Chains A and B, each alone.
Chain A
Amino acid sequence: MKLTRLFLLAISVSLFVSCSNDDDDNTPKGAYDNGIFILNEGNSSGGSVSFASDDLSNFTADVYKTVNNGDFAGVYLQNIFFDGDKAYIIAGGSNVIDVVNRYTFKLIAKVETGLVNPRYGVAKDGKAYVTNANSFSSVTDDYIAIIDLATNKFESKIELNATANRILLENGKLYITEPYSNDKLLVVNPATKALETPLTIGYSGDTMEAKDGILYILRSPSATSSEIIKVKLADKSASKITIPQAQGRAGYLDVYNDKIYYTVNASTYAINVNATTAATTPIATTTLSANGYIYGFAVNNDKIFVSDGGDFGSNSKAFIYNLSGSLQKELTVGVGPNGFYFNN
């Protein structure tokens, strides 16, 4: 009974999707088109995905559960990436990627093989490239799992002989950072599956963003000043902006329009992309929970999105600011919100 119901649902969903394809572009392709997914990492009992519409008027606390009643998204939800009309949710603690329709959030398939503590992923030409931490005790066994997106099956791996975490695709190359045990920016050519010469950037390199041929990397060591490293991808020449240590330790970075937005402790700062010095005053400071710290950050749709990691035992909050830093909305999301993903 359950299966037939699922089948009927699948048919109606596919009808709905195929019908909506005929409509013009502005018509929502599903309940969760034109909005923001907030990924809640969760704790050992599982994570969730929240949704807010672009105008922040509609909110659903747990989209995955609401749509895929009965299915378990996984433990430690780490990252979402998109390809075509699909969204891929990486559950690091469950070695699984949930493949859903990005507009309806209906589960399509799961990638269940070839993953060991998967972290972040990107898609290119029908393939997904997903970093895997593999065993946490080894600093040489991390790899990129290549997944065929037509079959949702693991295809092969690229051994990295280093640790790997965040991954970014720019101009056909994959760029990888890992903050704990790697002082290099790894460069991988997905076409040849070969590692290119890495660039030494120093330890604690984490979030990245590329714009106009420049890769911006935020690096936040515990003992010394945090830095924004700008790598000119054409010749791999690097320059850096030092964030005054007195401000604190930096967290996240995003580039939007012509500005670099980054966080230090509970504050968000912005500087011009061609600035050479760090900002002195924040544009916003978030009131975090008792032991909370900023755990997710993004700038998009002319808004700044900040999430509080909270205590990992209760629902936490997302804060949405306009670009000048005034608070527009506060949302109670799930446990451990760690990322914002824009479905436009």
Chain B
Amino acid sequence: MTLKKHFAFSLLLLCQFIWAQKDSITSLKEVLVSDSNLKKYSASQTVLKLNDSVINKNEALLTDLLNFNSTIYFKEYGRGMLSTVAFRGTTSSQTAVIWNGININSQMNGSTDFNTISGADYNSVSVKAGGGSVIYGSGAVGGTVHLNNDLAFYNRFENNLKLDYGSFNTIGVNYKTNISNEKWSAQIGFSKNSSTNDYKYLNRYTWKGEQRWNQNGQYDVITMSANLGYKFNAKNSLKLYTQTSNTDRNTSLISESETKSKYVNGFNRNLLEYDGNYGKFTANFKTAYIFENYQYYADNSLNQYTYGKTESFITKADFGYTIFKSTQVNGILDYNRTKGFGSGFGNNTREISSTAILVKQDFSKDWKNEFGVRKEFTDNYKSPVLLNLGSSYQFGKLYNLKLNLSRNFRIPTFNDLYWEEGGNPDLKPESSYQAEIGNVFTFKNISLTQTVYYIKITDLLRWVPGKNGIWIPQNTDKVNSYGAETLLSWKKQYGKNYFGANATYAYTVSKNEETDKQLFFVPFSKVTAAVSYSRSRISAYYQFLYNGFVYTQADNDPNQIVDPYTVSNIGIDYDFKLLSSFKLGFQVLNLWNENYESLENRPMPGRNFNMYLNLKF
């Protein structure tokens, strides 16, 4: 019945909506992208790019953006709390998050918490499905999420301010300025997203009959970024990206009497990049310093905490050579030194160097091939030879066939190796083989991408209980994951009316080879859909998410599941055209007041509201 309601509503809105991408103006100007390999070496895979107009329509934190717009599954410990992913049925540390070309997954736990990242800090967020370890290193197994800041070189002085105010005292301040001419380009941004987050749990009462609500769920995420580019001439340019962030969060309670705890984490990232382009030769040097830390207060009322910090120093040299017009080769050398220290894992340093060769060959405009190989060298573990092999063939205008094979890995983290007690220095990296076939159909305004994949993962790390209550990580499990992903997008203009629709569907089977059971917290199906309409000053959209049930236990006990849920959002905004743009918007989130949880005993909010002001000047 509810599905019917959603369907009817979608139809209603199908006759309306927002033009997804209005940034065609900037794309005409010269833009230096931060991660050139993303475009260059992804012809045989699928990249879903979400630009700022999509980013602005979603809630601030990255979880919402990707949950409603991609096939990635999210597990959230309550609204705004720890949020981890499963992509193509893999684990949370098998999706790599890439910031301007640099892998930023935590060195301590291997994963990224998507509720510590605000989407508006980037020009675009791209989701690349499938293996990418040859280019992006550890964790690029299920896929990669790319956070990119692109610098444009033309005369402009633009400011963008977005102010949000919503239910549960949710406040968002996002400011970005772009100052550039043909030589210089600067982008400075600030974002602050906070909430008291004290929402009521729908239809849940304590044993005394009192309404339950989300206690101790406050969060505050602050990020500052500054990116600077300088073009010496047409051949040489220098770019500097910096970002600092702090997330101060309490951890919401699952029962009222629990001890209240809090988790504070932050990062500082700096990347200096030189680009040289000398005809057949190209050179790209990167040097980066990445710092991450956390403090966990088991009891808010006490000033006692456990902590961990890592500092990574990365240098990378990438030399390109065009052998023939059709064939380009890149040779990459990479050195990474990470120092970690913390209350849980002492003081350790890890050094990894690697070398990689990437080849891109375009037999014709329609037939493109890519090949990559990478090998890492380190004392810490035995590293497999990583591979990537892909081909893309365009049959006429209508159909594009893509094939990709890759070998990827995920290295053990500082926690896995050095945790006291239990850390296991003898671990191997998790390793995987992956094959995928992509079919892209393009017809007029419709684009349909259908991908099937198969992933075989061996040496999957799992912390297993040992005697004396000490848990030890071991390379125990083998997992076979296969499935299908469908991406659909459509846009059309009728006179002054712009319509758009996007949808994704993922079917995922991810089984432990030994037990033949589905991995816990991997849904068999997930659907997202969005329709949008805009006409001169008004734009509106409707979003829909269906998340299938997940098992919460490895034995797939049918009684231990998180129920499937369907969540919809609706939004509208009006541009008063006061400055160059002055939009006032209103959103209803969880429109149908669905009572749902993403993780057991951690209910998500019911219907709630947000209003925003988006100014460009």
A residues adjacent to B (C-beta < 8 A): 2-3, 6, 45-46, 61-62, 70-72, 74-75, 91, 93-96, 107, 109-110, 112-113, 115-117, 135-137, 222, 249, 290-293, 309, 311-315, 335
Which residues of chain A are within 8 angstroms of B207 by Cβ–Cβ distance? 71, 107, 109-110
Among candidates B258, B468, B599, B600, residue contacting A222 with C-beta atoms closer than 8 Å: B468
Residues of A close to B520: CB separation below 8 A: 313
- Tally the A-B contacts, defined by beta carbons under 8 Å: 77
Contact B258 A94 (CB under 8 A): yes
Partner of A75, one of B258, B302, B464: B258
1/0 per residue B549-567: CB within 8 Å of A?
0001111010110000000
- Contacts A46-B600, A72-B601: A3 and B209 contacting too (C-beta < 8 A)? yes
Q: Is B155 part of the contact surface with A, judged by Cβ < 8 Å?
A: no
Pair B254/A72 contact, Cβ less than 8 Å: yes
A314 to B553, CA, bound (A): 5
Q: Are B554 and A314 in contact (CB under 8 A)?
A: yes
Interface string of B291-324 (1 = CB under 8 A from A): 0000000110010100000000000000000000
Interface of A is mostly: loop
A96-B559 in contact (CB<8A):
no
Could you tell me if B601 and A45 are in contact, using CB atoms closer than 8 angstroms?
Answer: yes
* Contact A293-B467, Cβ < 8 Å, known A2-B205, A61-B559: yes
Interface size class, chain B: 20 to 34
B466 within 8 A of A: yes
Q: Which residues B520-572 have CB closer than 8 A to chain A?
A: 520, 552-555, 557, 559-560
Q: How far is the CA of A75 from the CA of B554 in the complex (A)?
A: 19
Q: Can you give 25 contacting A-B residue pairs, CB < 8 Å?
A: A6-B209, A45-B601, A46-B254, A46-B600, A46-B601, A71-B207, A75-B255, A75-B258, A93-B258, A94-B254, A109-B207, A112-B257, A113-B257, A117-B259, A135-B299, A135-B304, A222-B468, A291-B466, A293-B465, A311-B554, A313-B553, A314-B554, A315-B553, A315-B555, A315-B557
Q: State which of A96, A135, A291, A292 has its C-beta within 8 Å of the C-beta of B255.
A: A96
Q: Is the CB of B465 within 8 A of A309?
A: yes
User: Closest 4 CB pairs between A and B?
Assistant: A314-B555, A112-B257, A291-B464, A96-B257
Could you say which residues of chain A place their CB within 8 Å of the CB of B304?
135, 137
Q: Tell me the residues in window 60-98 of chain B with beta carbons closer than 8 Å to chain A beta carbons.
A: none
How far apart sit A329 and B559, CA to CA, in the bound complex (Å)?
Answer: 23
- Are B552 and A291 in contact (CB-based, < 8 A)? no
A293 nearest in chain B by CB position: B467
Q: Are B258 and A95 in contact (CB under 8 A)?
A: yes
Which chain B positions have C-beta within 8 A of A3?
Answer: 205, 209
Cβ contact within 8 Å between B259 and A95: yes
* Residue on A nearest B474 in the bound complex, by CB: A291
User: With an 8 A cutoff between CB atoms, is B256 at the interface?
Assistant: yes
Contact bitstring B465-493, A, C-beta under 8 A = 1, else 0 = 11110000000000000000000000000
Q: B interface, by DSSP: helix, strand, loop or mixed?
A: loop
What CA separation (Å) do A292 and B258 show in the bound complex? 29
Inter-chain contacts of B555 with A (CB < 8 A): 314-315
Shortest CB distance A36–B (Å)? 20
Contact of B554 among A2, A72, A116, A313 (CB under 8 A): A313
Chain B residue nearest in CB terms to A116: B259
Are A311 and B464 within 8 A (Cβ)? yes
| Interface presence of B204 (CB below 8 A) | yes
How distant is B539 from chain A, measured CB to nearest CB, in Å?
Answer: 41
Task: For residue B298, give the distance in angstroms from its CB to the closest CB of chain A.
Answer: 8
A335 to B557, CA, bound (A): 11
Tell me the complex Cα distance, A309–B465, Å.
9
Give the docked Cα–Cα distance between A272 and B155 (Å): 93
Interface string of B250-279 (1 = CB under 8 A from A): 000011111100000000000000000000
Q: How far is the CA of A46 from the CA of B597 in the complex (A)?
A: 15
Minimum CB–CB distance for A42 against chain B, Å: 10
| Most interface-central of A74, A291, A292 (chain B CB within 10 A) | A291
Minimum Cβ distance to chain A for residue B615 (Å): 44
- Rounded to whole Å, the gap between the CB of A64 and the closest CB of chain B is 12
Q: Closest A-chain residue to B304, C-beta based?
A: A137
A292 to B466, CA, bound (A): 8
CB contacts (< 8 Å) of B209 on chain A: these are 3, 6
Complex: A325 Cα to B134 Cα, angstroms: 57
A113 and B258 alpha carbons, distance in the complex (Å): 10
Q: Is the CB of B557 within 8 A of A314?
A: yes
Which of B258, B467, B599 contacts A45, CB < 8 Å?
B599
Q: Is the CB of B255 within 8 A of A72?
A: yes
User: How far does the Cβ of A298 sit from chain B's closest Cβ, in whole Å?
Assistant: 20
A325 to chain B: closest CB distance in Å?
23
Q: How far is the CA of A271 from the CA of B517 in the complex (A)?
A: 43
| Nearest-CB residue, chain A, relative to B557 | A315
Please give 6 more A-B residue pairs, beta carbons under 8 A apart, in addition to A45-B601, A291-B465.
A95-B259, A113-B257, A117-B259, A135-B299, A311-B465, A314-B554
Q: B299 to chain A: which residues have CB within 8 Å?
A: 135
CB pair B600–A45 under 8 Å, yes or no, is: yes
Q: In the complex, what distance in Å separates the CA atom of A116 from the CA atom of B259?
A: 8
A292 to B467 alpha-carbon distance, docked (Å): 8
